[in-house]
Structure 1
């Protein structure tokens, strides 16, 4: 038995299986008890390591490889998720706040380090660990509809400055600790770093755009190119004696514009958040020495209080300074503070690098006490930051105009659902849903004196005279003949099209673009397989590529029988207005009633609910609907359950297609996903063009 245990302990396949099991089970459990999923992964690492079951060796090559890849991937995703467009619009104030929220914690960390007897080099390293931040609270701000507030925008932009600066300090501290530091070597190091950073930022950006332009829609090759860019940048950093995570972060920034939030980015982040990033957090747990951790809290309590308290106070001072300089409101200053509190991605990755950095005398750059303190810091700030964000962000006023903030662009005539000329493309591939989809498209187009384009895509064969090609064309023609008969029933102009294309999604989007369509209407697929999640199903890819809105439908009644429609509204935006306009268009075709539902949590005051109701009512009145359109406000801490309960009185629910993820790379459930699985009425999933 002991021999078997020893064999399993050394077996890489066994370790990999255990890691997958942990990643699958633990994060959802911790999220249910209101703790971040990454805390569950750290706990799992402790339980599986030498202080627990001792089933995984943290020093094994397998664990080291997975942990290193996870560390690199974490910083790469952090670079990818920075909104460069917003940063460019607010770069002056973002850089100002970035400097403020970097320098105050840096000075505080150096002071704490020196107070407790650490060397100047280690003290500066501790300061750099406090200087960055991770936007764990951003999804909360997003849900509250405050993402356009000036305080939120500059805090997001400040992440670029704090992360890069903290990583540069780390690089210098590591070099000094290895004994390679002289004034000449520092100048050479900074020069090499500048050349390297410029090469990565501009070189990868240019190469990526050229590669994507030449490969068109070959997503698998594009996915491999991005991975190659990541590891080339990381390896290049090592060649000039800079830590890998610096290269990974710069690579994320470099390809940010290249992949532009498209399907390739979705695949990259899916792989990272599903496998490698969780492995990094488990690896951190494996390295955590529980006796030392407990001893640090007990014997070095002042160090823990100094670092944690110093971080909280210095971030507060940095936010208040900027709040005063730019004359922001108190709630804006406090929101900036709460958003910049969490220390997760760059902090943990840099802490692990510093802990593993050993000089010729066998001395670590930071000892186990500091590493344990940083983990305490992560736990405290990852919980405290989002809690404070929820408290202060909900009190933010409507976004105020700054000189550098421009209003949301107006929807073009191509994107507007209320365009004068209305063309609807209806891809047909399922005979069972064909009639209802054509009927829905016909109602919409007829009301706007438009036309519909029933479309059947036949995937091409190597030889155009292949018998399989002929059979596919015959099937397509049969589908289109039926579509033409249905359109004639509704007395609407129809232009059936058969298209031969290598890729169905691209064929749909290209046809819509060629005919200047205003809308694509599709049937809802229930494909949730692993391959669909990894490579994207048809609907996902049409959402990503289409130039116009896409309405994906699951119709349980004939369109003419749908009389009551529900629209859950989180917050107002141009996309939500599009959904309301689309619903209005449909409802006016058959005299249906429309209800806008806003679910507020139980903390929302009566005044806040009244203000939200007035705002929604104003939107309704501006549309001048010809049908009954009302606003309903309810309180509930479970939005999905509240929508499900209300939906029982309605024939159809309108949902917005939106993906959401945390900055730390751990996937979170989306309200839309929950509702799609549990709603028992008809559904329309409405997606906007990526650029809208």
Structure 2
């Protein structure tokens, strides 16, 4: 059955992606929408299974690995100020206004802060594809977006641990912070010393595609280690890509891994977002969904956008960066699932948040397309020096 499902998904995803591009939108938008049509909510041709979920997870891991391979490390270093401003701006606004929304919904103080944290999450896997299609991934804007996503993930997860420790959850804040510090310190050390050595050793093996194989091993190990230390797997795979990007094997690995990913895993990831969406009970909470969706979009757009403006970007670039940070994706889903597990949210709010997360995911590509339309590197020479 899985073989037929994959055939249906790949055919529908490529066709829908092409149609989306013809209408002037990124292909990812068509892939998500066709996933909704294929899934149980509409035609029911494909169901969300554990196998498809695994394919989807591989897709997003490889997507962020490729983004890392394409990252200009020097530009990444220069974008530190912008990434910090964008990351914190994109956290503070959703957190504060999400808390206020929770209070207005008669949630407890802890539940309200949890709602704010869910709205503060960011997943730029959607944005990466849109940036690539618009040739913006290697620009100061694109690099700042990726750096801000790393900051967002780390800060939100630490804040979540802090909240749960006060809410009575079995969580040690010290342990959470220590794990993340150890992950980043270890990842940087391995990236600096071990990755180039491992690639050179494997390049001498007398087997087919040894370099591609070891690159994928590095990617998966980084992703797994990130996940077990409380950092999103996509951050780990992105760091693995950056580590390899400074070696002489970068171009060979990029070309072949992108071919594999674009052919099967990445389309499955985006289509699976639509397939796994649940819309039961939506009508009963329609106004809550609308209000939280608007809140989720505006707070991230304004907060991250103002952060970019304070860092020296022009208004149009700042709005493009703000729009790229809107998607909550799998990071918010993980937080929501944790919330229902420890009774910080109920099933109704969980169902509402699933739809809100989907809405933020769908609106991100067209908003980026609009603000980055006909865009060039719009940071002045003076500002680019300060970023």
Please indicate, yes or no, whether the TM-score normalized by the shorter chain is above 0.5. Answer: yes
Q: Residue 56 of structure 1: which of 46, 51, 63 is its match?
A: 46
Q: 1:101 to 1:403 in 2, by over 3 A?
A: closer
Once residues 384 and 131 of structure 2 are traced to their aligned partners in structure 1, the CA distance between those partners, rounded to angstroms, is 26
> Counterpart in 2 of 1:124?
117
Once residues 224 and 377 of structure 2 are traced to their aligned partners in structure 1, the CA distance between those partners, rounded to angstroms, is 46
> Counterpart in 2 of 1:227?
216
Q: 1:214 to 1:375 in 2, by over 3 A?
A: same
> Counterpart in 2 of 1:310?
299
- Once the two structures are superposed, the pairs formed by residues 173-188 of structure 1 within 5 Å of their partners are 175=161, 182=171, 185-188=172-175
1:238-295: CA deviation from partner (whole Å, max 9, x where unpaired) = 4434443332233233323236641211111221222112111111111212355566
Q: Residue 99 of structure 2: which of 106, 110, 114 is its match?
A: 114
Q: Residue 127 of structure 2: which of 129, 134, 158 is its match?
A: 134
- For structure 2, which runs of at least 5 residues remain unmatched after alignment? 103-110
Contact 2:90–2:325 under 8 Å retained in 1: no
Deviation at 1:224, TM superposition (A): 0.6
Once residues 298 and 264 of structure 1 are traced to their aligned partners in structure 2, the CA distance between those partners, rounded to angstroms, is 48
- For structure 1, which runs of at least 5 residues remain unmatched after alignment? 1-10, 406-692
Contact 1:342–1:385 under 8 Å retained in 2: yes
Contact 1:125–1:173 under 8 Å retained in 2: no
Helix, strand or coil for the counterpart of 2:372?
Answer: helix
TM-score by length of 2: 0.82
Helix, strand or coil for the counterpart of 2:10?
Answer: helix
Q: 1:383 to 1:165 in 2, by over 3 A?
A: same
1:561-606: CA deviation from partner (whole Å, max 9, x where unpaired) = xxxxxxxxxxxxxxxxxxxxxxxxxxxxxxxxxxxxxxxxxxxxxx
Q: Residue 386 of structure 1: which of 352, 366, 369 is its match?
A: 369
Contact 1:259–1:265 under 8 Å retained in 2: no
Deviation at 1:334, TM superposition (A): 2.5
Q: 1:240 to 1:378 in 2, by over 3 A?
A: closer
Once residues 314 and 64 of structure 1 are traced to their aligned partners in structure 2, the CA distance between those partners, rounded to angstroms, is 32
> Counterpart in 2 of 1:334?
316
Deviation at 1:188, TM superposition (A): 2.0
TM-score by length of 1: 0.48
Deviation at 1:401, TM superposition (A): 5.4
> Counterpart in 2 of 1:286?
275
Contact 1:134–1:340 under 8 Å retained in 2: no
Once residues 333 and 44 of structure 1 are traced to their aligned partners in structure 2, the CA distance between those partners, rounded to angstroms, is 33
> Counterpart in 1 of 2:357?
374
Contact 2:289–2:353 under 8 Å retained in 1: no
Deviation at 1:97, TM superposition (A): 1.6
Tell me how many residue pairs correspond in the alignment: 370
- Once the two structures are superposed, the pairs formed by residues 440-519 of structure 1 within 5 Å of their partners are none
Deviation at 1:298, TM superposition (A): 4.1
Greater helix share, 1 or 2? 2
* 2:179 paired with 1:209: no
Q: 1:313 to 1:142 in 2, by over 3 A?
A: closer
Larger Cα-atom Rg: 1
Considering Cα pairs closer than 8 Å and 6+ residues apart, tell me whether 1 or 2 has the greater RCO: 2
Contact 1:45–1:284 under 8 Å retained in 2: yes
Could you tell which deviates more after superposition, 121-130 or 102-111?
121-130
Greater strand share, 1 or 2? 1
> Counterpart in 2 of 1:159?
145
Helix, strand or coil for the counterpart of 1:129?
Answer: coil
Contact 2:38–2:44 under 8 Å retained in 1: yes
- Please give the root-mean-square deviation of Cα atoms over the aligned residues, in Å: 3.4
